[in-house]
Amino acid sequence: MIDQKVINLIQAGVDGELDDAGRTELERVLEASEEARQCHAELRRVAEFLDGAEPAEPPGDLHARIVDGITLPGARASRSLFGFARFPASVRYGLAAAAGVVLTLVMVGQRGPGYDPKGLDDMTGTIAPRAADSAAPALGEHRFEVPGARGGLLLRRQGDDFALELTFDADTPLDFRIDLAGGGLAFDAVARASAAPASLEWADGSMSVSGQGRQRLVLRTRPATSPADASPGVVELTLSRGGRVIHTGELRTDDLLQR
């Protein structure tokens, strides 16, 4: 029966934890004891079995998952604007409350004559401020009528900007694509949406809208500043159903924008 000291020596040898003197001692013990040799062989076999396993491959997105989830102390410190963190909590809360009151008073003082409830009747979403765009005369219009749907695209001046209004009434889902880039206009904001479209996407100078039923969408646009898009020309409308184009039209802007 080998004692604990010898077991520790054997195991340390298997784990490469011995210095020169320890290795000499281990050799002497192994030479003298069959039981020690057997223990050494068994421990080494288990160690080799474990060391033979390949490391597991982490998922490809692990690095991003870890890094994206971490906020560094520097970033946290930047939230403490004006060094308010140095004040006691009671003072900080008091300052925050006072700031809230001041802000509310300023906002109340600044607000306009108030909302007209009638003007909000058909509104489900507003991103840009409400404007009296519907009162402005139309600069140009394109109407369409296809089986199961009819509507139009209309351009109005709105101060220095322009409102592009898409209206339609469709029995089945329709997909609209409005290309502004060729018309010397750039998209600014969605001013009104009378009902939530099924989808609304904007990319590379074109707007895609999908919807069904009766809808009105007003886009606030402005004259394009990009040299490539700045020349007035044509706003294109493409109407599709189930991936198939069923109507195309255009709204010429070359002389409209000069007025």
Among residues 12 and 234, whose Cβ is nearest to other proteins?
Answer: 12
Among residues 16 and 147, whose Cβ is nearest to other proteins?
Answer: 16
Choose which of 20, 34, 49, 244 interacts with other proteins (CB under 8 A). Answer: 49
Rounded-to-integer distance, Cα 155 and Cα 163, Å: 6
SS3 content of the chain, % helix, strand, coil (to 5): 35, 35, 30
Using CB under 8 A as the criterion, what x/- string covers residues 61-80 for binding other proteins? -xx-xxx-xxxxxxx-xx--
Rounded-to-integer distance, Cα 250 and Cα 234, Å: 6
Taking alpha carbons only, the member of 156, 158, 159 closest to residue 167 is 156
Question: Do residues 119 and 132 lie in contact, with contact meaning Cβ atoms separated by under 8 Å?
Answer: no
83 scored as a contact of other proteins (CB under 8 A): no
53 scored as a contact of other proteins (CB under 8 A): yes
1 scored as a contact of other proteins (CB under 8 A): no
Choose which of 42, 141, 145, 254 interacts with other proteins (CB under 8 A). Answer: 42
User: Which residue carries 């994206």 as its tokens?
Assistant: 68
Choose which of 54, 116, 160, 204 interacts with other proteins (CB under 8 A). Answer: 54
Residues in binding contact with other proteins, number by CB under 8 A: 38
Minimum CB separation from other proteins for residue 91, in Å?
23
19 scored as a contact of other proteins (CB under 8 A): no
Among residues 18 and 234, whose Cβ is nearest to other proteins?
Answer: 18
How many CB atoms lie under 10 A from the CB of residue 203? 8
85 scored as a contact of other proteins (CB under 8 A): no
Helix (H, G, I), strand (E, B), or coil: what is residue 10? helix
Cβ within 8 Å of residue 59, ≥6 positions away: none
> Angle of helix 4-14 relative to helix 20-32, nearest 10 degrees?
120
Chain positions contacting other proteins, by CB under 8 A: 4, 7-8, 11-12, 15, 17, 42-43, 45-59, 62-63, 65-67, 69-75, 77-78
